[in-house]
């Protein structure tokens, strides 16, 4: 395998994995639900994105043709992930989950 | 034309998806075409209000912008998360909507959620205001302005004008 | 001459009276229809009887169940002839008698039917030439007598008496069955002739004592021998014709008949002597003594019957041929006088309205003719000379003396016999004196009593005449019959005896006089004796028996309810406990230590395993927080699908993932109607038990999994790998197995899914559930039922998901995928529409009844399977072909794809049938709340 | 290619599918479809029966794949007998249910057919995993049928029935995995050959698999301590369903006999778990008799009698000799048909007593007592094993074939206890009448259906000779598994 | 290079999953748990894709795609349950 | 690896058993679910573990055993059908017995 491609693949893998982890760290350590909501829905998105990039590169290189199948994963995830986040935010607001005291503005009543 | 191809954008999307899934061959191109025509027709009843695509180039530019924003903001958010959470300045921000089309509003909300640091928490019943939760914001007004400028306006052009 | 047909006649006759009753025949006609066939049988008996009387045996045999040794075999020898005559003859008299006895509003048709059933059973019993057949008829007599005794079913006494007699005689019958089966095995045949011929072999066999005890249990229960006598008095709740029949000539005689029948095979041992004589003597004394104290006319007769049966039994037990002849003779005599006495008692009951001897007095003045008849019969019973009872009683005394001479209990037998005679005279004296004399009647329900209708007396007259005729002219009347019967009983030559009235002054005669004198003396002391008897603790066998049965029922109920305590937890613990026990016994440590090659464990896998383990444990520990538990179960499912990914099972991963989503929807739908939390209600003990079961079973399965994974094996799988492509036309071997190699499994599997859909639909119909008006925190539900983002996104997802479904479906044969997964994706996409926009919205856009979809799916799969028939191949044989189209290129068409399409539709139909209908529940609830 | 052998599965399967398509409002059409399909099973199974008794074992390679790779259906005498029995039971049961009971809930007719499909499939299949699948088919259909109609009692019993069987299914799968993981096959005949060649760990695992199968089949058969679910489930099911269920426990017994006869009758693992089965069967016999004595409802009492017959039968199977198995088969046929008939009768009696139902307590005269009482008498006599009906001969045959004093004693005592119990309930229901019931008139079609089943009792007595010969011939073939194994594993067949 | 990146990548993602599990266990609220589960699904996608690279196989792609396409339905159902109780109205 | 999988199976089966023995329908449903997960994996591993040897012709050189996979697929489907039925039955119980106790006992009867 071409070392440049291999480097890129490795980099994307590490990038993706790192973002996956960072998102999950956010989920684990941020202090209120609304804040935690940001971790996964973003970092994980790029986490998956990084992996997909790695995969695209890797398989395209292996096959020596463009392999774009994985793009669909990103497409679907980008369509669906905001829905989860939105629905969970609504649920949290409905339940009146506590937000950090210094949060500006206020959630809406459901 | 509308009868056969009620949702050209969707059909295109489906055809592209089919080709992505199967890789290129003439056979699949044909089969994909068939599906791209049939599936929207079959699911026609589920589309009471057809979103109309008015500006394809604008859409492509918009998508590129969003992707770029996602990448950039991801880094920012990563730093925010890894730093002490105490330094975050979270806020619920209300964004008055200029968009009226449900589909366009949804795309805007998705975009907001996908770009780091913001989550669309809710939309008012009258579709006039959006509630956004922000991870770290200094000036909510500025953020609202930026979102309107960066995302809402292009979307209005793409779907509504 | 067909004996089988003769036995059949009463059974056939049983059909006629109910039929006649249906046709509103008069009572006389009814009685005539009942009498017709027995009469025919009796007449029919004439010809074979001639042969028997001249020393022959008439037999009939057809194989019935050869493997059981059961033949439809009948024999008419002396013994059976005697009993056949008694059964039919007295039976006919009883039919005549019953015509007048039963009142107009009683179901005489049914009565006669039962009576004839009983008659047939009795006739079959006495003529059986096969042991199993004999038991068959034996039990039939118990059953038909149950119906007869319970005929007046509105009376509690009748019901209880019937049940008790059935239970006691039924028990004896079962013992007899066991005894007879052993007897047949020992003798090597169930044919009566062969068994009787094998007497020496039987007595020498180690099983002889057991056989004897079992057979005697049958005999003693049936013949009401001590200590099984108690049912008989309670059987007096039956209408008197029944008593006259069952308790004189037939039912109770079945026991002693059996003693006679098996005499050659079983008698002649000490055990026989002690058991049979002992029971007989005890019964003789007990019955005779208690009879005196009965105030009920029929009660007196019942105990007298017990006593006389004891006498007969004792005679059989003496192991003397002459005694056996005496026993047979007394069977005849007892039948005649006791039948007539029961009939007389019935007449008295009929005419006075009571059977209480304390009220019935001085009937001599009101019904002298009946009185004469009854007195003669009673005298016969008491053993007064010139009557038949005297003759057999003399023989009895003589035999008792004879046996006493050789037995260690020299004094006991003659003294006992005399004492029995004493009491017999005493209760006979009471019967005569207390009923026909002893002052004026007291407060009779019917007063004044009259003589009964003319023809009601005819049967009594006939029987009494027989008593006299036999008593005076034994030689002319019974000697021939007795001789053949005796011969048949002994199974050999008859001993020397004379049937004469006068044997000279001898010891038996002395005993007779002692009996007469002692009897009169005792009767004269009756007031004192009655008073003493009254002071004895009351013993009602019925109460005791019912009490015993009740106690048994209570015990059974306690045991049954303890085991079947209605607790699923306990049932499941039993089931799992059995499994745990089995694992503990069978699993060995070697399973863990003798392991072969293993895959190396890497950190990521270990952490993945850890995640699963923690999630599973969270589920178990936090299961009371139901939502948390649901989510941790989902994590387990997710990791399981990752395991499938990791270990080369992408099809499984896809399936697991999509099923997971549907299951989640299902659970969330259900949660709306279920409590959010589970209360704490298991004690520490139960939790401990359950944890133990969980550890043992979980551990055991784990150990087995480890042992299995680390051991080598040869399997049939190479065949699938080799033949998938050439034979099944697909490269995804898992899918080819599913749709081809083992397509029949899949056919069954989608059927299961379809049925589950149907069952769930049926369960949900009309189900009324209360849904929560607020959420678990007491807040009213959110206003936004159909959030904009969800609604808007769900719509493009539908065609996208359908596209993916098509993709997954088409590639399934060659790569991971297939109809099932495709179906689930489609279902989820459609369900998402339900979730996003609601049932009504969706149903305005597509048909909401998914039954046809399930049917179409199953039919498609099924018809694809059938199609192979047209080419001469078995069900589900697949075929495939590669087709080349210009532009499109080469592609494959396989019948398996059609089958897979069926799978697809079934999955979609069934899933939606389940979940959409579950989703609709709340609409009903809303409607209910609204109106 | 002769496809008749698969007809007992496909006829009800297709009938069930058609029933789903048929318009829901047209009741008569659904009834006609169900009844015709069920009636059609009678000649079909009769023909198969005749064929099997000619001595040949017919093997049907599904998908044209040879054993042990593909799934095969195997028609031997045992399976043919069970099929015929099922169709003979199903016709009256469905006839009864079609007099109105099929209307009290949805999808009855379809569920009934699919239940038959499952039962017949279980009898025919020669593949262990396919047996699991058909078990599931018959179970899921039975869940639906058991819960058909409404009422809390039915639902309560249903939950127990379903949960226990779900655990049972999990255990079944574990056993199958062990079987495949050690012998590498799922075909019964192939398994029978290979399991006896195992040693070491694999053998231990195979033993556990075998015992696990006994537990699973024991649960279906309702053996102690796994029968507790049965009385409530059967007693609460609608009558036609309960009648059909009379054969369900026999599916468990069949499975025990089938696997036992093939794999554990001889060879290295001969007699696996046999002693345990024997003991458990006897305990079942006794406890069921006591249960029948103490039952408070007639339906429950009959359900206990079903369990009692299970104990009687499994002891016969565990005894293991061809003679014992032959006797068991005769008894099996008898108890299935008679108990089925009694369930129908109990329902009729219950209907005739109005609100009191089939509770064993003094109450009004059941409407139509003239017809019901004699039938009850016949059924009771038959089921407790008194002459002159089938139960007696079954008992005699079993006693002759199983010369164990304990068995005799328990069999006879249990019979006596059942006799006492049934005489109590009979005299209470028919004799201790307290007036007239406020109940509908006796439905003669229903009575006919019950009579049809109970007619088995005298019929099996009259034709006991040939029937016992048939049972013995079946047992003879069963006792020689090589016939079966050769027939299955020697069939030629190509791919695709 | 890949031989380092792959195990590290696996480790990071599994670690992420563990953190998600921690949040699921910890809660404290139902939305938190649901969010944790949702995140696990997304991380699982990354894991599967990574596994595909590691084994040079595209056979696992569909599994990842399936999660991306329908995995969110579970989360939606839970969220809908929390807000409306009734997920299909 | 085998030991880890064995432990995983043990835990799923064990927790499943524990939950099946609870008194309310809901934990029982969860227990059945866990139990069937464990059993499915057990059936799956009866073909032994193989890494990256998918049973697709031409893709792997020594493909994994495909048969247990097919069996598990069938088992998953059947398990789903059964679970669904049990869930709805639990609802029926809730509706008719007004209790989610597996024996239909009302809360007031328990206290
Ligand atoms: Na008097
Ligand atoms: Na709903």
CATH class for the region spanning E2-84: mainly alpha
Measure in Å the smallest separation between the Cα of E19 and chain F Cα atoms: 20
Identify the pLDDT of residue E82: 92
Nearest-Å Rg of the Cα atoms of chain C is 42
Contacts with C193 (C-beta within 8 Å, 6 or more apart), sequence order:
C75, C129
Domain of D388?
A: 273-486
Domains in chain B: boundaries: 8-46, 56-159
Closest CA to C177 of D402, D311, D392, D467: D392
Beta bridge partners, C890, equal C884
3-class DSSP state of D174:
helix
Q: Is the pLDDT of residue B6 over 80?
A: no
Domains in chain E: boundaries: 2-84
Identify the pLDDT of residue D495: 36
CATH code matching the domain that covers F2-48+65-109, chosen among 3.40.50.300, 3.40.640.10, 2.120.10.30, 1.10.287.3510: 1.10.287.3510
Same domain, C261 and C303: no
Is C556 within a domain? no
3-class DSSP state of D234:
helix
Is D201 within a domain? no
Q: Is the pLDDT of residue D492 over 50?
A: no
CA of F75 to the centre of ligand 2 (A): 29
β-strand D363-365 against D433-436: which pairing, if any?
parallel
Q: Tell me the C-alpha distance between C878 and B29, whole Å.
A: 29
**By percentage, how much of chain F surpasses pLDDT 70?**
95
Closest CA to C653 of F54, F2, D488, E4: F54
- Average pLDDT of chain A? 90
Closest CA to C777 of A100, E32, A108, A97: A97
Measure in Å the smallest separation between the Cα of C711 and chain B Cα atoms: 40
Phi, then psi, of C677 in degrees rounded to 5:
-125, 155
Are F46 and D159 an interchain contact pair (Cβ–Cβ within 8 Å)? Answer: no
CA of F85 to the centre of ligand 2 (A): 17
Is D221 within a domain? no
Between positions 332 and 391 of C, the ones with CB within 8 A of E are none
Q: Which long-range contacts (CB under 8 A, 24 or more apart) does D43-50 make?
A: D44/D4, D44/D7, D44/D8, D44/D11, D44/D87, D45/D8, D45/D80, D45/D83, D45/D84, D45/D86, D45/D87, D46/D84, D47/D4, D48/D4, D48/D5, D48/D8, D48/D75, D48/D80, D48/D83, D48/D84, D49/D80, D49/D81, D49/D83, D49/D84
Q: Tell me the C-alpha distance between A47 and A59, whole Å.
A: 18
Angle between helices D298-319 and D248-259 (to 10 degrees): 10
Measure in Å the smallest separation between the Cα of E51 and chain F Cα atoms: 9
B49 or F72: which leads in pLDDT: F72
Between positions 798 and 837 of C, the ones with CB within 8 A of A are 800
Residue whose pair of structure tokens reads 């009734």 in the numeric block? E86
CA atoms within 13 A on the CB side of C708: 34
Which residue from C minimizes the CA distance to D155?
Answer: C763
| Mean pLDDT for the stretch of residues D475-489 | 94
Identify the pLDDT of residue C52: 94
Q: Is the pLDDT of residue D460 over 90?
A: yes
Q: Is the pLDDT of residue D1 over 80?
A: no
| Mean pLDDT for the stretch of residues E51-61 | 92
Which of F60, F63, F85 is nearest residue C759 as measured by Cβ atoms? F85
D199 or C886: which leads in pLDDT: D199
Burial class of residue A66 (count of CB atoms within 10 Å of its CB; 0-12, 13-18, 19+): exposed
Instruction: Give the angle subtended at the CA of D372 by the CAs of D371 and D376, to the nearest 5°.
Output: 130
Q: Which of C503-507, D313-317, D378-382, D404-408 has the lowest mean pLDDT?
A: C503-507
Same domain, C143 and C244: yes
D404 or D268: which leads in pLDDT: D404
Q: Tell me the C-alpha distance between F86 and D163, whole Å.
A: 8
Identify the pLDDT of residue F104: 87
pLDDT digits (tens, 9 = 90+) for C683-742: 899 999 999 999 999 999 999 999 999 998 899 999 999 999 998 888 999 999 999 999
Q: Tell me the C-alpha distance between C708 and F44, whole Å.
A: 11
Identify the pLDDT of residue C540: 75
Split at pLDDT 50, 70, 90, the class of C70 is very high
| Mean pLDDT for the stretch of residues D177-184 | 96
Is D238 within a domain? no
Tokens of C127: 């003529």
DSSP state of B131: E
Closest CA to C262 of C206, C335, C179: C179
Tokens of A66: 């463009």
Q: Tell me the C-alpha distance between C750 and C856, whole Å.
A: 12
pLDDT digits (tens, 9 = 90+) for C835-855: 999 999 999 998 888 999 999
Domain of A43?
A: 2-95
CA atoms within 13 A on the CB side of D429: 35
pLDDT digits (tens, 9 = 90+) for A9-53: 999 999 999 999 999 999 999 999 999 999 877 666 789 999 999
Identify the pLDDT of residue D173: 98
CA dihedral E5, E9, E11, E14 (to 10 degrees): -170
Split at pLDDT 50, 70, 90, the class of B4 is low
Split at pLDDT 50, 70, 90, the class of D493 is very low
Write the CA distances from D315 to D257, D398, D411, D414, D415, integer angstroms.
Answer: 11, 9, 10, 14, 15
Identify the pLDDT of residue C782: 87
Q: Tell me the C-alpha distance between F7 and C593, whole Å.
A: 15
pLDDT digits (tens, 9 = 90+) for F77-93: 999 999 999 999 999 99
Tokens of B155: 């979307």
Q: Tell me the C-alpha distance between C740 and C899, whole Å.
A: 9
Query: Measured in whole angstroms, how far is the alpha carbon of residue C332 from the centre of its chain?
Result: 37
Is D229 within a domain? no
Between positions 388 and 447 of C, the ones with CB within 8 A of D are none
Q: Which of C112-121, C568-577, D148-157, E40-49 has the lowest mean pLDDT?
A: D148-157
Closest CA to C435 of C336, C298, C333: C298
Q: Neighbours of B (≥3 Cβ pairs closer than 8 A)?
A: A, C
Tokens of B71: 């990448």
Is A110 within a domain? no
Q: Is the pLDDT of residue C590 over 90?
A: no
Q: Is there a cis peptide before residue F109, judged by omega within 30 degrees of 0?
A: no
Identify the pLDDT of residue D494: 38
Other CB atoms within 10 Å distance of the CB of residue E28:
11
* E strand map for C825-924: 880-885, 889-894
Is A105 within a domain? no
Determine contact, residues C352/C446, Cβ cutoff 8 Å: yes
A93 or C543: which leads in pLDDT: A93
Identify the pLDDT of residue C681: 80
- Average pLDDT of chain C? 91
Domain of C921?
A: 730-931
Are C789 and B109 an interchain contact pair (Cβ–Cβ within 8 Å)? Answer: yes
| Mean pLDDT for the stretch of residues D311-338 | 96
Are C744 and D71 an interchain contact pair (Cβ–Cβ within 8 Å)? Answer: yes
* DSSP per residue, F62-79: S---HHHHHHHHHHHHHH
| Secondary structure, 3-state, chain E | CHHHHHHHHHHHHHHHHHHHHHHHHHCCCHHHHHHHHHHHHHHHHHHHHHHHHHHCCCCCHHHHHHHHHHHHHHHHHHHHHHHHCCCCC
Tokens of D43: 């000649």
C contacts of F23 (beta carbons < 8 Å): 569, 681-682
Question: Which one of C489, C524, C559 terminates a domain?
Answer: C524
pLDDT digits (tens, 9 = 90+) for D17-76: 999 887 566 889 999 999 999 999 999 999 999 999 998 899 999 999 998 999 999 999
Beta bridge partners, C582, equal none
E contacts of A28 (beta carbons < 8 Å): 19-20, 22-23
3-class DSSP state of F101:
strand
Identify the pLDDT of residue D271: 87
Measure in Å the smallest separation between the Cα of D483 and chain C Cα atoms: 22
Split at pLDDT 50, 70, 90, the class of D329 is very high
Identify the pLDDT of residue A42: 66
Is D410 within a domain? yes
| Mean pLDDT for the stretch of residues F26-33 | 96
Split at pLDDT 50, 70, 90, the class of C409 is low
Tokens of A55: 């995969």
pLDDT digits (tens, 9 = 90+) for D291-315: 999 999 999 999 999 999 999 999 9
E contacts of F54 (beta carbons < 8 Å): 57, 59
ipTM above 0.85, yes or no: yes
pLDDT digits (tens, 9 = 90+) for D252-266: 999 999 999 999 988
Other CB atoms within 10 Å distance of the CB of residue C55:
11
Residue whose pair of structure tokens reads 């924003």 in the numeric block? B69
Q: Tell me the C-alpha distance between C169 and C232, whole Å.
A: 10
**By percentage, how much of chain D surpasses pLDDT 70?**
98
Is A44 within a domain? yes
Interchain CB contact of C796 with A (< 8 Å)? yes
* E strand map for chain B: 91-96, 118-123, 129-134
3-class DSSP state of D359:
strand
Are E57 and F52 an interchain contact pair (Cβ–Cβ within 8 Å)? Answer: yes
Identify the pLDDT of residue C701: 97
3-class DSSP state of C71:
strand
Q: Neighbours of A (≥3 Cβ pairs closer than 8 A)?
A: B, C, E
Nearest-Å Rg of the Cα atoms of chain F is 19
Determine contact, residues D235/D299, Cβ cutoff 8 Å: yes
């Amino acid at each position: 395998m071409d070392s440049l491609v291999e480097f890129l693949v490795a980099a994307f893998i590490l990038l993706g994995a790192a973002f996956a982890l960072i998102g999950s760290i956010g989920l684990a350590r941020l202090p209120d639900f609304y804040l935690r909501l940001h971790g996964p829905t973003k970092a994980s998105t790029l986490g998956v994105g990084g992996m997909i990039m790695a995969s695209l590169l890797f398989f395209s290189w292996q096959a020596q043709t463009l392999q774009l199948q994985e793009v669909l994963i990103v497409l679907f995830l980008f369509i669906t992930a905001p829905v989860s986040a939105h629905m969970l935010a609504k649920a949290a607001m409905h339940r009146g989950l506590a937000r950090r005291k210094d949060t500006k503005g206020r959630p809406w009543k459901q | 034309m509308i009868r056969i191809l009620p949702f050209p954008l969707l059909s295109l999307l489906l055809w592209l998806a089919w080709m992505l899934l199967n890789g290129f061959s003439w056979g699949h191109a044909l089969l994909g075409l068939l599906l791209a025509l049939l599936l929207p027709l079959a699911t026609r009843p589920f589309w009471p209000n057809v979103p109309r695509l008015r500006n394809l180039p604008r859409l492509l530019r918009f998508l590129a912008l969003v992707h770029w924003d996602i990448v950039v903001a991801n880094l920012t958010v990563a730093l925010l998360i890894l730093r002490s959470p105490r330094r975050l300045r979270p806020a619920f921000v209300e964004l008055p909507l200029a968009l009226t089309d449900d589909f366009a509003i949804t795309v805007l909300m998705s975009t907001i959620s996908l770009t780091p640091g913001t989550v669309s928490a809710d939309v008012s019943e009258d579709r006039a205001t959006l509630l956004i939760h922000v991870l770290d914001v200094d000036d909510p007004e500025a953020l609202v302005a930026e979102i309107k400028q960066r995302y809402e306006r292009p979307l209005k052009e793409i779907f509504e004008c | 001459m067909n004996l089988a047909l003769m036995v059949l006649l009463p059974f056939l006759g049983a059909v006629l009276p109910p039929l006649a009753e249906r046709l509103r025949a008069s009572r006389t006609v009814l009685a005539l229809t009942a009498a017709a066939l027995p009469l025919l049988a009796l007449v029919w008996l004439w010809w074979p009887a001639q042969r028997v009387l001249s020393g022959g045996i008439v037999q009939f045999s057809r194989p019935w169940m050869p493997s059981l040794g059961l033949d439809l075999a009948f024999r008419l020898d002396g013994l059976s002839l005697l009993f056949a005559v008694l059964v039919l003859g007295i039976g006919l008299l009883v039919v005549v008698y019953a015509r007048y006895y039963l009142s107009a509003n009683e179901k005489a048709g049914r009565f006669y039917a039962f009576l004839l059933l009983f008659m047939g059973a009795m006739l079959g019993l006495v003529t059986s030439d096969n042991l199993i057949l004999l038991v068959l008829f034996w039990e039939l007599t118990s059953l038909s007598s149950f119906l007869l005794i319970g005929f007046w079913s509105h009376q509690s006494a009748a019901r209880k008496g019937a049940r008790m007699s059935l239970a006691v005689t039924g028990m004896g019958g079962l013992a007899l069955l066991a005894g007879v089966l052993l007897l047949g095995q020992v003798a090597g045949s169930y044919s009566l002739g062969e068994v009787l011929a094998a007497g020496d072999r039987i007595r020498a066999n180690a099983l002889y004592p057991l056989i004897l005890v079992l057979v005697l249990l049958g005999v003693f229960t049936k013949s009401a021998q001590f200590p099984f006598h108690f049912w008989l008095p309670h059987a007096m709740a039956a209408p008197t014709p029944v008593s006259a029949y069952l308790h004189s000539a037939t039912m109770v005689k079945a026991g002693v008949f059996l003693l006679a029948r098996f005499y050659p095979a079983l008698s002649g041992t000490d055990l026989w002597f002690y058991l049979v004589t002992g029971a007989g003597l005890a019964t003789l004394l007990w019955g005779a003594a208690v009879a005196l104290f009965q105030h009920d006319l029929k009660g007196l007769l019942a105990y007298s019957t017990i006593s006389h049966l004891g006498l007969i039994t004792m005679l059989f037990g003496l192991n003397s041929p002459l005694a056996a002849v005496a026993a047979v003779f007394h069977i005849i005599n007892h039948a005649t006088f006791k039948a007539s006495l029961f009939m007389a008692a019935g007449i008295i009951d009929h005419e006075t309205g009571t059977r209480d001897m304390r009220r019935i007095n001085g009937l001599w003045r009101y019904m002298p003719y009946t009185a004469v008849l009854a007195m003669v019969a009673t005298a016969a019973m008491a053993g007064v000379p010139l009557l038949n009872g005297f003759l057999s009683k003399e023989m009895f005394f003589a035999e008792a003396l004879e046996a006493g001479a050789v037995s260690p209990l020299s004094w006991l037998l003659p003294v006992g016999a005399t004492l029995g005679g004493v009491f017999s005279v005493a209760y006979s004296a009471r019967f005569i004196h207390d009923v026909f004399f002893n002052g004026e009647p007291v407060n009779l329900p019917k007063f004044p009593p009259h003589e009964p209708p003319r023809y009601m007396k005819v049967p009594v007259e006939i029987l009494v005449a027989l008593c006299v005729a036999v008593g005076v002219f034994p030689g002319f009347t019974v000697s021939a019959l007795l001789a053949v019967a005796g011969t048949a009983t002994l199974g050999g030559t008859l001993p020397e005896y004379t049937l004469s009235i006068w044997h000279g002054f001898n010891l038996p005669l002395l005993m007779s006089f002692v009996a007469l004198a002692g009897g009169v003396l005792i009767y004269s002391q009756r007031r004192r004796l009655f008073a003493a008897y009254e002071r004895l603790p009351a013993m009602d066998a019925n109460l005791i028996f019912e009490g015993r049965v009740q106690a048994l029922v209570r015990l059974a109920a306690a045991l049954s309810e303890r085991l079947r305590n209605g607790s699923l937890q306990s049932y499941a613990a039993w089931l799992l406990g059995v499994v745990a026990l089995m694992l503990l016994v069978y699993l060995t440590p070697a399973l863990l230590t003798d392991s072969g090659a293993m895959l190396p464990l890497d950190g990521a896998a270990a952490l993945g395993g850890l995640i699963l383990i923690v999630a599973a444990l969270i589920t178990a520990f936090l299961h009371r927080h139901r939502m948390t538990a649901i989510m941790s179960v989902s994590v387990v499912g997710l990791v399981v699908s990752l395991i499938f990914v990791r270990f080369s099972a992408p099809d499984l991963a896809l399936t697991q993932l999509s099923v997971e989503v549907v299951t989640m929807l299902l659970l969330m739908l259900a949660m709306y109607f279920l409590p959010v939390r589970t209360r704490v209600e298991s004690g520490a003990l139960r939790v401990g038990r359950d944890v133990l079961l969980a550890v043992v079973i979980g551990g055991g399965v784990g150990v087995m999994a480890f042992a299995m994974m680390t051991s080598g094996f040869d399997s049939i799988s190479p065949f699938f790998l080799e033949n998938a492509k050439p034979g099944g036309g697909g490269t995804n071997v898992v899918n080819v197995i599913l749709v081809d190699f083992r397509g029949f499994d899949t056919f069954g599997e989608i059927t299961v899914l379809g049925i589950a859909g149907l069952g769930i639909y049926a369960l949900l119909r009309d189900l009324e559930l209360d849904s929560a008006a607020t959420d678990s925190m007491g807040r009213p539900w959110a206003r936004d039922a159909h959030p904009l983002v969800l609604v808007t996104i769900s719509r493009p997802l539908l065609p996208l998901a359908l596209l993916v479904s098509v993709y997954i479906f088409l590639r399934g044969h060659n790569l991971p995928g297939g109809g099932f997964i495709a179906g689930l994706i489609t279902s989820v996409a459609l369900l998402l529409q339900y979730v996003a926009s609601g049932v009504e919205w969706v149903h305005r856009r597509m048909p909401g009844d998914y039954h046809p979809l399930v049917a179409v799916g199953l039919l498609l799969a099924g018809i694809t399977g059938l199609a192979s028939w047209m080419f001469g191949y078995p069900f589900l044989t697949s075929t495939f072909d590669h087709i080349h189209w210009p532009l499109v290129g080469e592609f494959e068409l396989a019948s398996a794809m059609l089958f897979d399409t069926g799978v697809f539709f079934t999955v979609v139909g069934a899933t939606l049938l389940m979940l959409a209908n579950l989703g609709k529940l709340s609409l009903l609830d809303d409607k209910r709340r609204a109106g | 290619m002769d496809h008749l052998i698969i007809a007992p599965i496909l006829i009800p399967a297709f009938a069930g599918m058609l029933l789903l398509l048929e318009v829901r409002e047209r009741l008569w059409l659904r009834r006609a479809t169900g009844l015709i399909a069920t009636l059609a099973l009678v000649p079909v199974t009769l023909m198969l029966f005749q064929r099997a008794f000619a001595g040949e074992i017919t093997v049907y390679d599904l998908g044209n794949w040879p054993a042990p790779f593909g799934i095969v259906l195997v028609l031997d005498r045992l399976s043919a007998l069970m099929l015929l029995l099922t169709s003979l039971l199903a016709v009256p049961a469905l006839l009864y249910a079609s007099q109105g009971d099929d209307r009290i809930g949805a999808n009855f007719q379809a569920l009934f057919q699919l239940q038959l499909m499952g039962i017949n499939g279980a009898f025919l299949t020669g593949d262990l995993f396919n047996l699991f699948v058909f078990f599931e088919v018959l179970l899921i259909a039975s869940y639906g049928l058991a819960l058909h109609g409404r009422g809390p009692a039915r639902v309560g019993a249903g939950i127990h029935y379903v949960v226990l069987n779900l655990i049972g299914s999990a255990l079944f799968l574990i056993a199958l995995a062990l079987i495949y993981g050690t012998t590498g096959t799922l075909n019964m005949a192939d398994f029978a050959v290979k399991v006896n060649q195992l040693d070491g760990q694999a053998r231990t695992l195979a033993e556990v698999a075998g015992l696990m199968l006994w537990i699973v089949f024991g649960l279906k058969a309702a053996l102690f301590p796994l029968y507790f679910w049965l009385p409530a489930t059967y007693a609460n099911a609608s009558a036609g369903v309960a009648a059909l269920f009379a054969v369900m426990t026999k599916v468990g017994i069949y499975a025990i006999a089938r696997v036992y006869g093939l794999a554990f009758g001889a060879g290295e693992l001969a007699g696996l778990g046999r002693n345990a089965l024997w003991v458990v069967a006897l305990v079942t016999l006794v406890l069921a008799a006591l249960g029948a004595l103490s039952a408070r409802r007639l339906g429950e009492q009959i359900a206990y009698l079903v369990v009692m017959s299970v104990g009687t039968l499994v002891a016969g199977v565990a005894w293991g000799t061809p003679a014992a198995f032959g006797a068991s088969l005769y008894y099996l046929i008898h108890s299935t048909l008679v108990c089925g008939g009694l369930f129908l009768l109990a329902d009729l009696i219950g209907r005739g007593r109005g609100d009191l139902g089939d509770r064993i307590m003094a109450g009004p005269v059941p409407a139509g007592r003239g017809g019901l009482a004699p039938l009850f008498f016949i059924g009771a006599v038959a089921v407790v094993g008194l002459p002159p009906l089938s139960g007696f001969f079954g008992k005699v045959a079993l006693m002759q074939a199983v010369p164990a004093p304990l068995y005799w004693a328990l069999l006879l005592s249990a019979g006596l206890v059942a006799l006492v119990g049934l005489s109590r309930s009979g005299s209470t229901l028919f004799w201790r009448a307290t007036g007239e019931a406020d109940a509908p008139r006796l439905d003669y079609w229903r009575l006919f259906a019950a009579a049809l089943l109970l007619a088995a009792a005298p019929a099996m007595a009259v034709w006991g000779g040939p029937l016992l010969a048939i049972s013995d011939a079946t047992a003879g073939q069963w006792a020689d598994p090589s016939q079966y194994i050769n027939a299955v594993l020697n069939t030629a067949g190509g791919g695709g | 290079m890949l031989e380092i990146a792959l195990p590290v990548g696996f480790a990071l993602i599994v670690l992420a999953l563990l953190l998600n599990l921690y949040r699921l266990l910890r809660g404290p609220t139902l939305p938190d748990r649901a969010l944790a589960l949702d995140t696990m699904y997304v991380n699982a996608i990354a894991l599967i894709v990574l596994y595909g690279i590691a084994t040079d196989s595209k056979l696992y792609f569909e599994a990842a795609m399936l999660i991306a396409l329908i995995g969110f339905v579970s989360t939606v159902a839970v969220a809908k349950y929390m807000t409306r109780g009734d997920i299909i109205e | 690896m085998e030991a880890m999988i064995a432990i995983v199976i043990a835990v799923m089966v064990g927790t499943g058993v524990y939950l099946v023995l609870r008194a309310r329908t809901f934990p029982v449903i969860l227990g059945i679910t866990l139990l069937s997960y464990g059993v499915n994996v057990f059936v799956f591993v009866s073909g032994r573990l193989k890494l990256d040897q998918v049973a697709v012709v031409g893709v792997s050189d020594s493909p994994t055993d495909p048969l247990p996979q097919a069996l598990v697929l069938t088992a998953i489907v059947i398990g789903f059908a059964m679970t669904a039925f049990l869930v709805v039955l639990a609802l029926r119980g809730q509706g008719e017995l007004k209790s989610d106790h597996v024996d239909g006992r009302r809360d007031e009867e328990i206290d």
